[in-house]
């Protein structure tokens, strides 16, 4: 087997993170050894420790990157006027961003319990930021009488769970495109919060 020597840190780093993400999403963090990750990349175990101080940091890096990227993309959305349009935009954004990133979603939701307390808090803070964006839309809609609900915060969490659950069943080769799924959920969610029509 040919061995590559020399400096590869700019390409090896991402390859390690990709492999770790895929393997951890598939089997769970504790079930994936550093050896398996190294083998998947084509390295020996020891080499991994040039890229991460330990396994915990690698896991945290994956989750933090996902949340930071998510928030960055959310921030790039054009500002819309009405809460109804904003809600549609958020729902479509959530679905189109998450569905092609199933591994990231799996890891970010299932491996929270394997984070150290400090790392857990940092991820939770990012997650709260994201939830806050949706909650602000619901609040605006409440103020404008477009939306009505019993409890704004719970409605926020309910919608996020509803949307994130899609990653558990959606298949790229299934009968629906991502856009079609988004349309279905826009309808479901708009109806669940819409004020009664006069």
Partner DNA sequence: GTCTATAAAATGATAGAC
Partner DNA sequence: GTCTATCATTTTATAGAC
Least distance to DNA, CB of residue 179, Å: 40
**Least distance CB 98 / DNA (angstroms):** 27
Return the one option of DNA, its own copies, none that residue 184 interacts with (CB less than 5 to 8 A, by type): its own copies
107, 65 in Cβ contact below 8 A? no
CA-CA distance, 121 to 109, in Å (whole number)?
14
Cα separation of 136 and 156, whole Å?
9
Provide the β-strand partners of residue 154.
none
Residues 6+ apart with CB under 8 A from 174: none
Site map for DNA, 20-59, x if CB under 7 A?
------------xxxxx-x---xxxxxx-xxx-xxxx---
Task: Give ∠ CA 24-27-33 in degrees, rounded to 5.
Answer: 65
Contact status: 8 vs its own copies (CB under 8 A): no
Binding part of the chain for its own copies, among 13-21, 94-102, 133-141, 183-191 by CB under 8 A, reads: 183-191
Residue 65 contacts its own copies per CB under 8 A: no
Binding of its own copies at residue 183 (CB under 8 A)?
yes
């Amino acid at each position: 087997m040919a061995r590559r020597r020399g400096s590869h840190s700019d390409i090896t780093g991402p390859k390690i993170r990709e492999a770790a993400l895929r393997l951890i999403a598939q089997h769970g963090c504790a079930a994936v050894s550093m050896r398996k990750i190294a083998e998947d990349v084509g390295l020996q175990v020891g080499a991994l420790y040039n890229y991460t101080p330990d396994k915990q940091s690698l896991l945290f890096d994956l989750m933090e990157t996902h949340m930071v990227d998510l928030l960055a993309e959310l921030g790039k959305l054009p500002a819309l006027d009405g809460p109804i349009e904003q809600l549609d935009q958020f729902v479509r954004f959530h679905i189109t961003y998450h569905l092609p990133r199933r591994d990231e979603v799996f890891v970010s939701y299932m491996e929270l319990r394997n984070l150290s307390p400090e790392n857990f808090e940092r991820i939770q803070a990012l997650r709260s930021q994201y939830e806050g964006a949706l909650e602000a839309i619901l609040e605006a809609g409440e103020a404008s009488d477009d939306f009505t609900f019993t409890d704004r915060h719970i409605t926020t969490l309910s919608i996020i769970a509803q949307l994130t659950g899609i990653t558990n069943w959606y298949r790229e080769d299934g009968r629906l495109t991502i856009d079609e799924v988004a349309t279905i959920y826009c309808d479901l969610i708009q109806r669940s919060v819409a004020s009664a029509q006069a």
